[in-house]
Structure formats: structure tokens, C-alpha cells
Chains A and B, each alone.
Chain A
Amino acid sequence: MNTSRRDILQAMMALPMVSLVASCGMGGAGKAVMGKDELAFLSSLSDTMIPTTDTPGALAGKVPQTLGELLNSWASAETRGRWSTTLAALKKELDGDKAGSFQAADAAERAKRLGKLDAAVFGSNEHPLKAYREVKSTIATAYYMSEPGANEELRYEAVPGRFEGSAPLGKTWATS
């Protein structure tokens, strides 16, 4: 029940936007393993997207490690290739022409650049970098399913022991 319900909810929430990220039109050739540079970029991207604030961020949740494992042991070579292409395109966009590398920039500068890209992608259903949505969604999943993501950023009860259907409003539950 849980999964179908959550899938439905998430699909529904994505409705107003274009939700099909898998067919991003940026398909590349298959790829055997993600490169170190790619994973380093992904790490920087995760940290910028979900930084440490009053609560732990993506790095505390080991999001880069989870994504590295996911891409190397869950993803098919084709999916890995697609991600590789997407990451290269994102890196190119975020590095920009003259301002220096995204990864080398300070947190404020990285946030500025990613924020601009994020707004552009979510502002259009046909953005050339719409595959960014899949990357973002996967980073978010890895974060909210991490121990600090579930327990500190959100709420998680391993053994609730009871169910209430009209409980007081509170932070989002990590799992449903």
C-alpha cells in the first residue's frame, strides 16, 4: 500500500510540471563506471543544493557516497551514460565562461549559480537541461532517506506502535 500511495502522491505533486525526466533527450552511450571527477562534481552539487543550515545537509547524509554507489551498482550502463552526459552538461553550465569553476567557487557563489539554473529549469517544461530534475530528485531521495535527513531534518519513527489519522500537524514524516 505504502509504495503505491507514495508513488501516486509524488506523481501527483509533479503533475503541474513536466514530470518525465527519464527521457531527457540527452541520451549518451553506455558507461562502465562513474569517474572520480563526476562524483566530485556531484558532491559539490549535492552540498549546494542541500547545504548544512540549522540542520545537517547532504554531505552529513553521505549523499555523494549513496549516489556513487547507486550509479555504479544500481544503474545500468545506459543510465550511467545518461547521467554522465547530464552531469557534463550541468557542469558546463555551472562553470560558466569566465567566472571560474563551480566547484572552486565559494558557497554563496555556488548557490547563486545553481539557484539560477534551478529557477530556469523549473520555469520551463522544455528547458534543454531538464534532466537536472532527475539529478535533483535523486539527491533529495538520498538525503531524506539518510539518517540525519530522516531523523533530524524530517521526522522518522522506526516503531510508531500506533496509528492516528488526525494527529496534530508537525514536520514531514520521512516515510509513509
Chain B
Amino acid sequence: MSDFDAIVVGSGMSGGWVAKELTERGLKVLVIERGKDIDPLKDYSDMKQPWEKKNLDRVAEDELKRDYAVQGDVYAMFESNKHFWVKDIDHPYESPEDRPYKWRRGYHLGGRSLMWARMSYRLAPLDFESNLKDGHGVDWPIRYEDIAPWYDKVETFAGVSGSKEGLAQLPDGQFLPPFEMTAAEKVLKERLEANYPTRKMIIARSANLKTATEEHLALGRGPCQSRNLCFHGCSYGAYFSSNSATLPAAKRTGNLTIVTDAIAHSVNYDAKTKRVTSVNVIDANTKEKRTYTGKVVFLNASAIASAMILLNSKSEAFPNGLANSSDQVGRNLMDHVGGTQVTGIVRGIEDKYTFGRRPTVSYIPRYGNVTEKDKPYDRGFAFQVYSGRSGWYGERPGIGQEFKLANRMPGDWTITLDPMGEVLPYSDNRVTQHKSKTDKWGMPIAYIDATMRQNETALMEAAVADAIEILTKAKIEVLNNPDPKKPNVSPPGQKIHEMGTARMGRDPKTSVLNGWNQAHDVPNLFVTDGAFMTSSAAQNPSLTYMAFSARAANHAADLLKEGKI
């Protein structure tokens, strides 16, 4: 007899969904979380006023350098929420000297669903066909129609605010009302769409409850208060996280057990039954070893960590790691690529300002190789659009009353285009077990060897040139004039969208998972975090992880019911 019907390794964006769906199907589920429990009353810092925050919310310089060498420059890390980010000193990994990898992580209940930027976009039909069409990577084993109903489901439950636009490259979904664009965004939208019939600007689709439905309210979630403090945890439960939504839903079934501070070490495989049987864990605090048995195992530890668990699960049948007969586990590591931001001043709307702090941005969906062809790159990029009036700042001349008055009224409206592009799957962008180094629990550390390449650079070159042209044509004075030939190209990991390390595919020889997120080699093993992604598309990926997790969990529940696994 197994301890549980299902074991879910990881409680973040995808693991929470698996737990919710399986428990709601009546299965007894154990969620293993390597990090600590989260208590919103103690751990959320959204109720602190600016003047109550220690050191202007800056993490002490020595501490930052010593403990947070990688996490330290994340835009969403502050003194008051630093406990949401791992101490790099405790969780080392290595990369080649000349190819740094930025692995941004949070080890606690809810994982990065607590600090995510909440951008929620569907992949489009063309994204599921792109590998087949241009020959990069392998073909997705499913198509948009297979996942569309699951997008509907997760959007409805999570609560995604957005506008219906009818765009082929960014399918509409089940949206709550959209947030309003700022005056500056409205100006750019109007001029962009007049200047380029092939381009659109829309309000971002964001997992913030613009309004709350009965289903949201029943989980103790309330509508967004426009405080823009999401990275601190939301006491209103107004943005989607495992903590606010999926785990509470799973808990109320009575079928959920959560064990925190339990690091998944490996998954045990029985060669006779050709099934996985149990998960070995190490207590993060005592280092005690335990094993939990389950009829089905879901890996949701995040793309790199799930690959590491598979690679660490060696047996006679799988000497190179569990479910790795294809040798694809750890390969094809993708992220998104970021580039140079271009900023301009929007004039003529000096009588307008904002009220409230919108927790989201605007967005120019991908147009390259969709509505505009013959680009010097494969795939494409989108722009996130930030805007606002400049506020107070210290580095302006003047003292006394003059200085105070200058800051008392807002400055210019500025608008910034921030590109994010698709990264191709490269089999040698790869995570492996370090040959000699282990962490303090005795587990091999990750060796991450990945780099952006020619196509990613080409995307970001075009993004700079396009952004300058978009603003210039819109009669918006460009403030910084970056050289399109020398764009920033973000190092892999920086966009915090790692994926692809156990890709889906049609052929067991070249992929790890089938179209149900089920290991080709092991029918009761599923991986539904970013590891399954066959291509990265240009869209932020979390919504896709949610949809595939819900779909795979329900498939697994079907198979269990039918006695097939």
C-alpha cells in the first residue's frame, strides 16, 4: 500500500495546480516543499508603510554581497521580502566562467508564485507549430486546441484581468475586466496602431483580481487595491499564488498533506513493475532521510531542479537518470531574452496624472514573423511597456523651498519599451550534475552551461531599432539613444523563465515527456513545471505551466481510476 495516491514535488506555480486538481478528484495527495512554510501574517510585508521599512527597504550591502550574489539584483527583492529569495550562499550552483547563469529562486511554500510578475498570456496556435515549421528543436506533441479548454479553466480560477483583442498570436481568454492604460500609453497605442497596421498595443493580461468572482471570494481572496505591492505577498489574496488560491482550494478537500522543509533527493523506480514507487527526501533542517510512497509522482520543482532530481535518480534501468533513455533530461534549457530598454518623453498630456498604483503594465504583442514577415531572425519578441510621470528625485539642483516645490509636482510623462524575445531550444544549453561538488545535504550541485546565441542577439538588435522607430514615429522624443548594433542581451536565467529540461515530444528517442506531460519511459511519472516546454514562445510562461499542470493532473487521475497506472 502506498502512503499517498500522488506525491507532488514542489508547491509553486505548477505544483499548486496539480495538488488542487488531484485532491478535487478525490485523491490523497502529498505535497513536498523543500523550503519553509509561509505564514502570511508574519511573512508578507505588504502592510508596512514606507516609513516603517528598515533602511529604506534596502538589503544591507555586506549581506547582499555575501548571501545574495545571484538574487541580489532581482528587481523584486527588498529588505522586507528578502526571505522570499534563496540565500545563494546556502544553495550553490556553478556555470562556466564566461557564461554566467542567473538562477533566481525562492524556497518556501508557494515558491515563485509568491513573487512572480503575474503576466498571463496564452501560447498561440502558431507557437505550437513553430518548431515543426522552422526546424528548431522537436515538434510539440499537442496543438493549441488541446490546451485551450485548460487555459479557460486556469484563467477563470486564477483570475486574469485583460482585454479581448482577437489577435492570432495572443489568443483571448476568460478575462476579468482590464486595468486602464495610462494617458501616455493611450497616446502611444493610438499612434503606434496608426503608424503600423501590423502592430497592436494592449493592456497587459495580469493575474490580479480587477474584480473578484464568487469563486475567488470563497477562497478568501478579495479584489486588487491598486497598491502595487505584489512582490511583498498580498494580504488581500488579490493576485494569484499557490498560497492565495490553489493550496487553499486543495486544503478544503481534506485530501491534502503538505510537508515543508523536505528536499526531494530522488525518485525510486521498480524495474519489475516499470513504475516509480516513492520519493526520497532529506529534512532541510535535521538532514534526516525519509521516503514517501505514492502511486503517481509529479515533479514540479522548477525546470532545473526537476531535471536535477531525475538525474539524481539512477538505477540499473536508468543509469543516466530516471526517464532519461533519450538523454534529453537537462538539455534544451531555455529562458527568454531581454535587451535594451528604450525610453521617451510623451508630451501634450501634462494635465493628466495617475491615481492608484496599477500592478501591471502595457504590452506590444509579438509582430515579427507573424504580421510582418522577412525578418532577419527566427521567431520574435514582444515589448512590455512601462509608463508614468517622473516623481520626486534627489539629484536635481536647488535646495530649500525651491527644491521642495520642484519635487511637489510631478515631472514629465515617460514611456519605456522593454523587449522580451523567444529563445530557441539548443541541446547543449544544458544542466548536468556537477562532477565533484555537493551541497550541504550531500546532493550534487547543478552545473548550468547555457548561453544566448545568434538568433537571440538578432532579436534584441531588432528590438532596439524597432523601439526607437516606434517612439520616433509616434513623435515621442527618445531620451536614451542606444546603438541597435550593440544591444544588451540578457544572460540566461535573468528573465526567471527557465524551461525545457524535460521536453515534451512525439518520439521517446528525442524527448522525455509525451503530450500528457507523462514520462515516455515511466507511465506514472509526470513533470509539469517549465521543464516540459518544447519551445519557449515569446510569452511569459506561467499561465501555460498552470494549464498543462491542470490537464496532466486530470489525465493522471483518469489513468489511476482506470487502473492504468
Chain A residues at the B interface, C-beta cutoff of 8 Å: 1-10, 12-15, 17, 19, 21, 48-51, 53, 55, 66, 69-70, 73-77, 79, 111, 114-115, 118-119, 122-123, 133, 136-142, 144-147, 150, 153-154, 156-176
Determine whether the beta carbon of A154 is less than 8 Å from that of B392.
yes
Determine whether the beta carbon of A175 is less than 8 Å from that of B357.
yes
Determine whether the beta carbon of B60 is less than 8 Å from that of A74.
yes
22 residue pairs of the A-B complex, CB under 8 angstroms, read: A1-B228, A1-B360, A3-B78, A4-B75, A5-B387, A8-B416, A13-B393, A13-B395, A51-B400, A74-B61, A118-B399, A119-B397, A160-B225, A163-B179, A164-B180, A165-B185, A165-B186, A167-B355, A169-B352, A169-B353, A172-B392, A175-B357
A66 to B, closest residue via Cβ: B56
How many angstroms between the C-alpha atoms of A74 and B180 in the bound complex? 38
Nearest CB of chain A from residue B404's CB, rounded to whole Å? 6
Nearest CB of chain B from residue A16's CB, rounded to whole Å? 9
Determine whether the beta carbon of B225 is less than 8 Å from that of A12.
no
Partner of B393, one of A10, A66, A77, A145: A10
Known: A3-B75, A141-B394, A173-B391. A53 touches B356 (CB 8 A): no
How many angstroms between the C-alpha atoms of A77 and B61 in the bound complex? 9
B351 contacts partner chain A, Cβ-Cβ < 8 Å: yes
Nearest CB of chain B from residue A151's CB, rounded to whole Å? 9
How many angstroms between the C-alpha atoms of A171 and B406 in the bound complex? 11
Known: A139-B394, A170-B353. A8 touches B343 (CB 8 A): yes
Instruction: List the B side residues contacting A5 at CB < 8 Å.
Output: 361, 386-388, 416
Determine whether the beta carbon of B394 is less than 8 Å from that of A150.
no
Instruction: List the A side residues contacting B227 at CB < 8 Å.
Output: 158-160
* 15 other A-B residue contacts (CB within 8 Å) besides A3-B75, A137-B393: A8-B341, A12-B414, A12-B479, A13-B393, A50-B399, A73-B55, A74-B55, A76-B65, A79-B61, A123-B397, A142-B56, A163-B226, A164-B180, A164-B355, A165-B179
**Among the interface residues B51, B390, B391, B397, which one has the most CB atoms of the partner chain A within 10 A?**
B51
Determine whether the beta carbon of A164 is less than 8 Å from that of B356.
yes
Determine whether the beta carbon of B50 is less than 8 Å from that of A150.
yes
Nearest CB of chain B from residue A27's CB, rounded to whole Å? 15
B319 contacts partner chain A, Cβ-Cβ < 8 Å: no
B409 contacts partner chain A, Cβ-Cβ < 8 Å: yes
B77 to A, closest residue via Cβ: A3
Known: A51-B400, A136-B395. A160 touches B61 (CB 8 A): no
